[in-house]
Each structure stands twice: as C-alpha cells, then as structure tokens.
Amino acid sequence: MGNLCTCVSPKTPAKTKKPTKRLQGNPQTAPNSSNTWTRIRSTRKDNHDELIREQALAAAIMFRQHQQQNGSASGLFPFDRSVSLRYPNGSGSKKTQLPRSSSSRARSLTDPLLQPHQLVNQDIKLDDLETNHFVLVHGGGFGAWCWYKTIALLEEGGFKVTAVDLTGSGIHSSDTNSIISLSQYVKPLIDFLDKLADGDKTILVGHDFGGACISYAMELFPHKVSKAIFVAAAMLTNGQSTLDMFSQKAGSSDLMQQAQLFVYANGNNHPPTAINLNKSLLRDLLFNQSPGKDVALASVSIRPIPFAPVLEKLSLSELKYGTVRRFYIQTPEDNAVPITLQESMINSSPPEKVFHLKGADHSPFFSKPQALHKLLVEISKIPST
C-alpha cells in the first residue's frame, strides 16, 4: 500500500536495461577457461528456472479454478487442508505428493525449514490462551490466497484460522471500480465479526492496507478482538487516512511511481477508481526476497486496489480502538512500505511490542513464512498485563 501515495506525482518511465553482451571466446585457444562451464551452468539454471515458472503458473491456475468452484462471493474462503504439501498422520499418497519446494532460491538461514512442532513450544496449551482463532486480513490487491503457507502452519499447530477476502479482492465477485468507501471494502470482515458469538474473541492480523481495515474493525468490535497484529501494515492514528500516512514518502521511490497504473472507470475528469500494479515490477516492489513460485502465483492472482478507501480518514477512539492490544511486525527489506515509514507509524502510535522479522520483504508470508508463523504464535501466547 506504500504504492498508493503518489497519484498526483508525474510518472517516471521505467528504465529499461540494456541487453548484456556475451563475451565471445574460443575454448580451443583457452583450455583452462571457465567460459564453457559457465555457459553450461547458466543454461541449466535458465532451464530449471523456466520449469519452475511453468509449474508455478500451472499451480496458480489450478488454485484459482479451485477457488471459483468451491468459493463464494461472500468473501470468506474455506481453505481445505488437503492442499497442504504436508500429509499429517501418514495420510496422503506418496505417489501424488508434491515436492516441498520447487524454488531455486537458496533458503535463508534466518528462515530454516522447520516443522510446526519445532516452531511452537511443546508445552503450549491452546486452551490456556485467551483465543486460538486467527483472522487474517490481506493487503491492497492481495487476497486470502496470499496466506496459504501461514494457514497451513497455524492449522497444523492446532490453531483455528479464518482468511478473509475483502470486497473486490481474491474470489470476491465485486468490481473493484465500484467500491466507494472503506466500509464497503471491509464489509466481509465486519460481517464475519458481527456473526461471532458473544464471548468469542479473535486475533486480527492485517498486512499492508489490511492494517487500516483491522483498525476499522477494532473500533466497531473491540470486545471481539483479543490482539491486533500489524504486518508491514498501515497503523494509523485518529483522523488519518492511509493516503495521508503513505504520502510522507511521496516522491522518495521511483519504483513506486513506475509501478502505479491508475484506473479511471468514471472518466479522466474524475478521480481514479482503482490502482493496478505493473506486473513487470511486482517482484522488485513486493517480492524482492520471495520464491519465484510465489511471485508467479501473485502475478495471476493480484487484483486492482480500490482507490476510494485509501482516501478515507479513520475515526479511532481510545475507548474502543485504544483498548485493543496492538503489536507490530517490521519487514526490513520492504520496498513498498520502507522500514523508515514503519518506524514513523510506530513512533506516532506506539504498540505494545515491536518485532523485527530479519530478511523479510513486503510479503513475509512468502519470503519468511516459518519466522512469521513463529512470531504469530509467540504473540498469541503473550499474557494480559
């Protein structure tokens, strides 16, 4: 959502890279040269990366088809645990089991491949928690689909998880250009919380623009929110809009301006109705530390961002919003919401505790899923003071 603040700034054309010229060499005249091996290794890597991209795109298409067949326009998607690559209790066929990862990206030492029981303390008792129900709220342009790794890890740890598709996002059927208010955009989340039984509480997790959305919900249902976790998210103050916050860094990123493609569904003489993102810049802007297969999934799943909700100023009171415990997870390698802007939001409205997710880009559910999961569980276990 850091990409929403420069609508009035002139766009700078994206710089195109000049083709790199290959050095021509004769292997017969240089028997000790590594050029031949370099070319072979490069060819193998290119072929492998191309195979990965094809597999990821095929998986993404199947995922979207599954959503359309089983989802509904309500905005809530019932994730089937069978889509997980893990087969708990020995279930599942080994013949059809997919590889754990087809990414060519070297796994970071800060996010090792761990099983849920290694991430969560063995002595954790979910019944002792105030709530074990996580509600995941995506950012602008994303959908419930972006949480698929987090959902699998949390469910395997025994937690209850609900991932919400906001209006015009994910598999929600509404046209993004028709969204004219924040209340309309957040309606699927509000409807879900409204239907919760009295006494039932949740842990709201908001990413990106989802931070403003969970803040809106916290003001309406403070008694149904145990904790609120902002993940590289817009954490606003009373009377502030998302555009106000992100305007603090207007003009500071050429990449941000290049990525914005404004949609004027009501005509050029009217304000924009939505914002598209340049697909060629998605990796650098949102996924600069994420696996290629997840970038491929995002490239076929991201939808336009409604413009009107980001202009709307929030009304947040100490008696309601202020009573909910807030936590912030920083993403230091973030190119969409830079760490300096995250620090500014934290200083303007200090949460109870701040966590630093080392090596995470703007999409830690892709780039650091294990580490993100560990922090979510850790926050769920923090007792009331």
Q: Which residues are catalytic?
A: 208, 334, 362
Amino acid at 27: P
Rounded average pLDDT over 47-52: 56
The per-residue pLDDT for range 77-127, each reduced to its tens digit, is 443 332 333 333 333 343 334 333 334 444 444 455 554 444 444 456 777
Residue keyed to tokens 């100023």:
313
pTM above 0.85, yes or no: no
**Structural domain boundaries of the chain?**
131-381
Rounded to whole angstroms, the Cα distance separating 100 from 203 reads 29
Amino acid at 295: V
Rounded average pLDDT over 140-148: 97
Structure-block tokens of residue 145: 């689909």
Rounded to whole angstroms, the Cα distance separating 203 from 161 reads 10
Q: Give, in degrees to the nearest 5, the angle at Cα 282 between 333 and 365.
A: 55
Q: Which CATH architecture has domain 131-381?
A: 3-Layer(aba) Sandwich (3.40)
Kindly tell me if the per-residue pLDDT of 330 is higher than 90: yes
Instruction: Tell me the pLDDT of the chain averaged across its residues.
Output: 78
The per-residue pLDDT for range 255-298, each reduced to its tens digit, is 777 888 999 999 999 999 999 999 999 999 999 999 999 999 99
Quick one: pLDDT band at residue 133, thresholds 50, 70, 90? Answer: very high
Q: Which residues contact 310 (CB under 8 A, 6 or more apart)?
A: 1, 4, 140, 209, 212, 241, 242, 243
